[in-house]
Structure 1
Amino acid sequence: MSSTFPQVSGSQRGYDVKQVEDFLLEARKAYAGDSDAPAVTAESIRQTAFAMVKHGFEPAPVDSALERLEDAFAIRERDRVLRETGDETWFSEARGMAEAIVLRLERPEGHRFDRVSVLSVGYHPVDVDRLVTQLKGYFSEGEALSIEDVRTSVFRAKRGGYREGQVDLVLDSVVDVMLAVR
């Protein structure tokens, strides 16, 4: 039995222990520069998901560890690109991504993202638009907003809501920009 993270108790479900430990082992090898390690990037860490099983790891501590790991890989990736292309190219790309995000955020409330059909469930537009207001303040006014605030955003489900994949993609881009300008 592993003791890397606390495990859920009773009939609760948590992240599959083997999947988590296998992923962390691969990430460790990739970070150490092991030539046999699979490619691991900040983006691939952000998109990692684990099966939910009985007696699995508690999700919150694993998610926190993955966020720290993503930050470490993002810093390393940024440093590599800065060495290869220079500051101007790096910040130009980040600025371009930020401008595309701001254009999306400037759309009218309730119409910022595509909607799923009324027979399907998506993210509640009111919840997403509330976060968009904070993002607009961050990008336009320099208001405080942490990467953690974006990463841990939760939206209620709503029939006919915003298309989840599209919202998630924009939020991933927001995190990329925030990591780039750290």
Structure 2
Amino acid sequence: MSSTFPLARKPKLGYRIEEVDEFLQVARRAYDGRPLADDPPVTAESIRLTAFGMQKRGYATAQVDAALERLEDAFAAQERRSAASLHGDEAWLREARTTAQVVANRLARPERARFDRVNPLVLGYHVGEVDRFADKLARYFRDGWPLSVEDVRTVTFTAQRGGYREAQVDLVLDAVVDVMLAVR
């Protein structure tokens, strides 16, 4: 993967060039199985949770985000191959099924009660928007409704006072991505 991306156009901010380049070098070494002693571990999950600082004339965010998604996919595939060689494909799929069942149980909860709510004075995710997307996820798991990893990765929700707790919703979305990548 090249670490050269187009720069953000004025007046938009882009990702800090040094941070992106350094992360990609660490990820490349990890993927090749040659990490340095002080390199942090890199996994599909850590890539999904990676965030960069912003700067004027930094890397264009859309292109970097797309590259990170491809990198996450590559690490997920590598992790699956490693786990399958150690424990067999069935163990890997059993774990994915277990995670899918936990997610499906969460999504089966009644609308407006699928996730914890924040204090009425605090902003959380818009309950109606999250519930509508949760219905799509439930159809994906229950009926095989078409839904892509990209749909889950890029979903956004507006803020609402007393809404759903963001961290909890994000954890479920991350679990959905893990399951989707596991069964590819």
Q: TM-score with structure 2 length normalisation? A: 0.95
Distance 1:151 1:119, change over 3 A: same
Alignment of 1:23-172 (within 5 A): 23-36=23-36, 37-172=39-174
What is the one-letter code of the residue matched to 2:80? R
Distance 1:62 1:35 in 2: 22
RMSD: 1.3
Partner letter of residue 70 of structure 2? R
> What stretches of structure 1 move > 2 A for 4+ residues in a row?
none
* Identical aligned residues as a percent: 57
Unaligned runs of 5+ in 1: none
Q: Which amino acid in structure 2 is aligned with residue 178 of structure 1?
A: M
Instruction: Name the structure 1 match of 2:6.
Output: 6
Matching of residues 13-24 of structure 1 within 5 Å: 13-24=13-24
**Alignment deviations for residues 33-75 of structure 1 (CA, whole Å, 9 cap, x no partner):** 1141431100000000011221111111111000000000000
2:11, 2:133 → 1: CA distance? 34
Consecutive unaligned residues in structure 2, runs of 5 or more: none
Aligned residues: 181
Deviation at 1:26, TM superposition (A): 0.5
3-state DSSP class of the match of 2:14? strand
TM-score (norm 1): 0.96
- Cα distance in 2, alignment partners of residues 12 and 38 from structure 1: 30
